[in-house]
Every structure is written in C-alpha cells, then in structure tokens.
C-alpha cells in the first residue's frame, strides 16, 4: 500500500511538472486560455500530491510499528506503543 501511495505522489508530481511546461509553451505560442487551463490542472495535481503525502505521513505515524521476533527483547517504549 505504501509503495502505491508513493507511486501516486510521483505520478502526480510528474503530471504537475508536465502541465507547467505545457503552460509555458502555450504562453510562448500566444495561447493564454490554454496556458491558464494547464496552470489550473498543474495546481490541482500538486494539491492532490500534497494530500496523498499528508495521508501517507499521517498513516505512518499511527500504523507503522516495529515487529518484534520472539527471540528479540521487547524494544524500549514498546509497552507504551501497544497501549496507544
């Protein structure tokens, strides 16, 4: 799941960068309406990437815990983590 979320962030960031370049090219060609549309789409992709990144960071803080082998000692603070 985590890998898929990181892939989504990368894809959205790549989309935002591509749309930004397309906006610049549209400006150079004298196509302001297209440039505005590309910039709006680029901004939307950037915002979506940010939302996915925040969700990923939040999930990592609440769901990821170290798994202890039966041969290992319990890590320091693990009893507090289990209570949370």
Residue 78 vs residues 22, 34, 65, 67, 74: alpha-carbon distances, Å? 51, 55, 9, 10, 6
In a domain, 74, yes or no: no
Strand extents, DSSP E, 1-84: none
* Distance from C-alpha of 39 to C-alpha of 52, rounded to nearest angstrom: 20
In a domain, 23, yes or no: yes
In a domain, 78, yes or no: no
For the chain, 84 residues long, give each residue's pLDDT as a single digit of tens.
888 999 999 999 999 999 999 999 999 999 999 999 999 999 999 999 999 999 888 877 666 554 444 555 555 554 444 544
Instruction: Count the domains in the chain.
Output: 1
Query: Would the pTM of this model clear 0.75, i.e. be above it?
Result: no
Domain extent at residue 33: 1-59
Do residues 50 and 12 make contact, with C-beta atoms less than 8 angstroms apart?
A: no
Tell me what pLDDT residue 74 has: 52
**Euclidean distance between the first and the last CA atom of the chain, given in angstroms as a whole number:** 23
């Amino acid at each position: 799941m985590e890998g898929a979320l990181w892939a989504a962030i990368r894809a959205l960031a790549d989309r935002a960068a591509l749309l930004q370049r397309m906006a610049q090219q549209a400006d150079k060609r004298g196509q302001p309406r297209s440039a505005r549309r590309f910039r709006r789409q680029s901004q939307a992709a950037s915002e979506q990437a940010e939302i996915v990144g925040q969700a990923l960071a939040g999930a990592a803080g609440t769901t990821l815990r170290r798994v202890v082998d039966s041969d290992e000692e319990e890590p320091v603070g693990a009893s507090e983590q289990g209570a949370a």
